[in-house]
Amino acid sequence: MQALRDEVGHMNRTVLDLKIGEEAVIKDFQEASVACKLLTIGIVPDTRIALIRKAPFGGALCLKLGQTFVAVRKNEAKAIRLL
């Protein structure tokens, strides 16, 4: 998936743009409705995140935040913007 540009022309990378094993820092969330759930499970801005694996057929993604592993749906991962 290709990162999108915002209205100012900056790149908007999301978790879906990460490769397996790649790390990044969470910037913010694109959708308020999804942000509430992500914050509840510990996915917060300024946290280092790594993509561990992707389930086949467009299923969940396994993310690592510190020593914690979390599975998120594709639509939730799409809402996590990265620095």
Q: How confident is the model at residue 2 (pLDDT cuts 50, 70, 90)?
A: very low
Position 7 pLDDT exceeds 60: no
- 39-75 residue pLDDT tens: 999 999 999 999 999 998 888 999 999 999 999 999 9
42, two tokens:
């510990």
Q: Is 76 exposed, middle or buried (0-12, 13-18, 19+ CB in 10 A)?
A: buried
Band (5; pLDDT cuts 50, 70, 90): low
Spatial distance between the Cα atoms of 46 and 20, rounded to a whole number of angstroms: 20
The tokens describing 34, both together, are 């999804």
Element of type H or E holding 38: helix 32-40
Strand, coil or helix: 54: strand
pLDDT at position 16: 94
pLDDT of res. 10? 55
Question: In this structure, what token pair is assigned to residue 38?
Answer: 């992500």
- For the cut 50, the answer to whether the pLDDT of residue 1 exceeds it is no
Instruction: Name the CATH architecture for the domain at 4-82.
Output: Roll (2.30)
Pairing of strands 68-72, 4-5: unpaired
